[in-house]
Structure 1
Amino acid sequence: MIVTRVDKITRNVPTLFKTADRFPMPELPEVEVTRRGISPHITEQVIERVDVRTPMLRWPIPSGLSALVGGQRVTRVERRGKYLLIEVGAGWLIVHLGMTGTLRVLPRAALERLPDKHEHVDIVFGQTVLRFRDPRRFGAILWHARDAGDVADHPLLRALGVEPFSPDFTAQLMFDRTRGRSVAIKQALLAGDIVVGVGNIYASESLFRARIHPARAAGRIALSRYVALAEAIRDTLAEAIAKGGSTLRDFVSSDGSRGYFQLDYFVYDRAGEPCKVCGNAIRQIVQGQRSTFYCPHCQH
């Protein structure tokens, strides 16, 4: 039943994200920062219970979740695209931060205070609480049982492209997968079927570094330029992770600290400001209901 609901609502995803420019969602760097932050605190720890205060986020939280995972030991915390996968013996918790979601590691004493209205779920361990907070409630906490098969085959994960830090992510892959496609390269990156996790912020930044205009047809970009783009994507994401991601509105890491990669943006959210390379004014266009920022001189 949960899978059916996920399939149904996934078809309506565009209508859920019309406000995404006002609420920039956590992208791959922010999710990876979260994974690295929570993993040392919960791996090999036993889940005591799950307290669900808001049963409906982007999708319904599975009923009886506490009974499903209570007493289970966390064996590892992985990331697939923008999804966090918390593995226990019986299966996986699948967590998406949505637009404004965060996962905070708190001491058990946090259970003694009244949670605020945006603190929807607590995963309680012996001395630690993993608290999910999401003001916009577009995040998700789902369950995939081990006897349902590999988590990679879950409806939300099975069509995802390759990971940008994987050896499978190459310029040749992007070149081959875009032949004959008239879609703009920015939109091809956001689609996630070629490479995952390159969201709106980091697509704009990567295209600037590769000197590619965001509206250029993906199928008309030469292999040599995809070489530059693949390198730019990896470098941009790696730098963002090292700097704790981007905090534009709500995102904080698992310990409450803010990211600061936004201080190094070349183009994103800098419309009208001078390009840091050539001095020309950064421009803003709308592609697929999302704002795109670029330099008209440096990118062609």
Structure 2
Amino acid sequence: MRYSLHITNNCNLRCTYCYEDNKIDRQRKQFVISFEEIDEKINEILAHGNCDELELLGGEIFLYMDKVSYLIEKYHNKFAIIITTNGTIRNAEIDELIAKYRLGIGVSLDDPQTISKQRIGIDFERVLANAKHWNTLTNVAITAVITPLNIRRIKETFDFYVLEQGFRTIHFGCVEEWLNDYYWEIYKKEVLRLIQATDLKILQQVTISPWKYHVPSHKKIIIEDGIEKMEIFDNNQIELCSYRKAIYACYVAYCEKLGKKPEPMIPEGVQVVTRGS
């Protein structure tokens, strides 16, 4: 099971689609996790006995490298650790930590043609260079967000980061609240265009999520004092929302291209739940 722990809600960018409703510039309530709270939250996670993977989220977590280093150095042998970053901050300390522990890194980068309109304040070339450097130390996943502005450029985004820049893992996320039934149909059409146009060997060699694998999950958000601090992804539950149905349809198309039999949408033993449960 995967857990996500928020290090901070503070960030040095102002992305138009940021899912963090508790940003300091929105509610004037900044959160930075303390060393004591790190130990408290990790011990709480370990007590469940089911954590395989811990994702560290922000805000931008590298603004608080002391907290990140403390957590990783103390708990790296308890579970796999993944870091999600906007890629704007890179220095020797960060590079050494990534190389030493072979951390999984997700760098937030979108369609190059529209990224400056959505990730306000980004130096795209610098972030891309940072991501490419980290990719020589560990596996870097490009984490792109699909919005109405770039939804018709899913294939072009894939081509740029995978075929041109050489990344082997790319994840396309969505801000679900921005996409209605009209956009979900465009989403499926554009993903199908990517799958049909991409060479079979590339699809076999590259990890493109969330379409390459069907992993049922239900996100539970832990909020304390009005601030989101932790998320739990339960693989024994699935929420049949519009987003889940759309990515499953894309997964089926992916399997058909690879000549594989798709897993059922609701695997045996998985419970269907409603949002908020």
* The structure with more helix, counted as a fraction of residues: 2
TM-score by length of 2: 0.31
Structure (1 or 2) with the larger CA radius of gyration: 1
TM-score, normalized by length of structure 1?
Answer: 0.29
